[in-house]
Structure 1
Amino acid sequence: MRNDPLFHPGWIRFNEQRWGLSAEPLVLTPEKGDAWRLETVLYRNRQGRLVTPPRNPHLPIDFHCASERPASRNRRKRLALTRLADHLQQCEFGGSLSLSSVADDVRPFEWANMAARPRYTYHLDIASREEAIDPSARKKARKCRRLGYRCETTEDYAAVAACLAGPESRKGFDYRLDAEELARLAELMGPEHFVCFLARNAEGEAMGTRVCLFQPGGHALAWSAGMKTEAMKDGVNNLVAEEALEFFDRQGCSVFDFIGANIAPVAEMKEAWGGRLVCHYSISRRGIRQLAREAYVTARTMMKRESK
């Protein structure tokens, strides 16, 4: 079973329709035998270049190895990622490609003359979350309940979109999703893989939301979240996160991916949930500017060594 909901056909179709891309499923295996198997989904823009679609935290990768011995698994993953790097080396990029954390060995891409930039997220083991979560996160959720808030799963996509507009106006970015797009994604993926959580205050007004993608038995992704400015101090994010974790526990999901921990205030908020810090990589083709920059850094390093 694939753990990543980004393999879901409905998600792939949404990316094609919403962003005008062509999906390219890719399966790599050894020339002989079935010792390993690597699957991913690549996307091409209208110019035929590979891209990471907007609003995609990464490109999904699934790796299966016939052996559980660390030595065999490490070698076979290196071989599989080398094959992937060789395939990408033959393609034009339309930007950087954000890879799943399954691609935890970045050397094959560097050997193929690509640049790799580390990115971070938190993975929380759902089954053992009670021992991992900082009491401060629970305290904020309790405060929110005392204020009369309640959280529910919802199909009120207009209310969800209104909450997502909160951080858009405060931070100046655009989720590029409206109620109609959310409804379409929900239809494409179905309730077994797509869910919206909505927190309402004591007056019944929608104040905060979290939109998640999930694979029962696999990973749940905290895809989008937002709350209205007037609710920022009420602990709404904590209430919604707590309810989401309980929901995914019932679905048998193993890991909750908080999606992103690269900005200091965001990292501080997410680390309170006790997840494991996970690195994944964004890769890009080395252009003339980057090669010149690397040559300059190397030359300066050598000059400093010689001057000692």
Structure 2
Amino acid sequence: MDIKRILWATDGSGEAELALEYAKYLAKLTGAEIIGVHVIPLPVQLLFESLRDEDEEFREWQSKVERRVSDRFVEVRNELLHSGIKFDGVILKGIPSDKIREFSRLRKADIIVMGKQGHGLIESMMVGSETVKVLKSSHIPVLAAKRPEPGKEIKISSIVVPIDLADDNETALNCALDLAGMTGAGVTAVYALRLDMYAQDMPASALDIVIKQSVKELRERTEEIKAKYDSSHGAAVKGGIKTDVIHGLSPAISVANYASRNNADLIVINTHARTGLKRLVLGSVTERMIQESPCSVLSLRP
């Protein structure tokens, strides 16, 4: 995971300021520059110049927002200058998710860092709607930042990677290994065995057999992926990969609870599988994971 440009998407909320702290953390690890982008959200009808020009109140509001954001970008630039981190801030207008996606391509960003929730109407939703829209459409990894527990510094020392044994995709685990190499974090691959409602009537011995088989498959899968990773990088990541099999009615909640119990700092997950019936549509497991997660979530396409 080569990070040279970090796109920090901000709406001025507390969650966005938290996302900046994660962007700084990654920039210090990688030497990357940070590009801040604030999109002034315009209703579709206000995207037409003729309507905007006739609305004096709207123009005043827009100017006020631009001044506030510009001042904040200057503060960030001066602050990061002392840390040796290059910063550039840009203000755009339009539909936030579309503009963020387009701008990330234009500036050739390697990762987008943003808050799990924004403010105003967005904050009232379970997950910020713009964050979810960016996750759905982004061609690069998106880090949805979550505030750590009080007194806990922002760092990545423990990474949880949900694994789908029915899919041979290796992207998330490879990404986690890249981050482990940068941060020294431990990596745990987790398979969440989904139990249907009728599973409560399953004999304990049968469930035990399924779990043991899953443990075996997960261990073999992770060993294979790590061997290929070490070979391609010419060195082994310290600490190896731990594995664990958990079970419950909801894979997303099971993984979130596991991350909480084990004090994970980050969950790395694919937004969906590659093709066919295995496709995991964002809005189900991945979105639920972001909603329930006690820590930040890094989502990426396979």
Same fold (TM over 0.5): no
Q: Which has the higher strand share?
A: 1
Larger RCO, structures 1/2 (Cα 8 Å, 6+ apart):
1
Structure ranking higher in helix proportion? 2
